Amino acid sequence: MGTALHSLGICYHLQRKFAEAQTCYERALKIEGRVMGVGHPEYASTLYLLAKVLSLQGKRRDAESLTEESIRILEEAGLGESPTCIQRMTYLSTVSSYYEIATGSYYLFFLEIYAFMNVNGHDVFVKPSLGVKIHLYTIIHSFVRW
């Protein structure tokens, strides 16, 4: 039933019937959360689609938080470097940049960043958490956009 509601939500989404799509995605999330668990990549997929619909309705702050949650779920499932996750991070940057223009916020996320360090004479790579990946996209995006 959750998959059917997910698919129906996509149909409404493509027809630009955003209120109906939102309802389908929300109902699908309740079912998928019970059946598969809230840490499942399919749950994250429905969460992401709901975020896109909310963004199209002008609810960018909600869309941003749902997209972040979707990314977190993928990262915890070991899919943090998958094309799907990178696509969501890119989408998050667009939602965030609209929010940035409206509020002056510079809290944006970008792709995986690896920091090079020398610890006790050994070269190591450190993978920062999602929260550490702030401002890099803002800097790059400001050069590309302007």
- Counting runs of H as helices and runs of E as strands, what totals does the chain give? 6, 2
Averaged pLDDT of the chain: 76
**110 within 8 A of 133, measured Cβ to Cβ:** yes
144, pLDDT greater than 50: no
Q: How far is CA 50 from CA 75, 90, 111, 144, in A?
A: 19, 16, 22, 29
CB hemisphere CA count around 40 (13 angstroms):
14
Integer Cα distance of 60 and 31 in angstroms = 25
- Confidence (pLDDT) at 35: 95
Which pLDDT score, from 0 to 100, does residue 5 have?
Answer: 94
- pLDDT at residue number 120: 52
Q: How confident is the model at residue 4 (pLDDT cuts 50, 70, 90)?
A: very high
Confidence (pTM): 0.67
- Which tens digits make up the pLDDT trace of 86-129? 888 888 877 765 444 444 433 333 333 344 444 455 544 445 44
User: What single-letter amino acid sits at 122?
Assistant: H
Q: What topology is assigned to 2-104 in CATH?
A: 1.25.40
Model pLDDT, residue 44:
95
Terminus-to-terminus CA distance in the chain, angstroms?
47
- Vertex 22: Cα angle to 18 and 24 (nearest 5): 120
Distance CA 111, CA 120 (A): 28
How remote is the C-alpha of 73 from its chain's centroid? 9
- Read off the pLDDT of residues 28-77 as tens digits, 9 standing for 90 and up: 999 999 999 999 999 999 999 999 999 999 898 899 999 999 999 999 99
Query: Which pLDDT value is given to residue 97?
Result: 56
pLDDT greater than 50 at residue 132: no
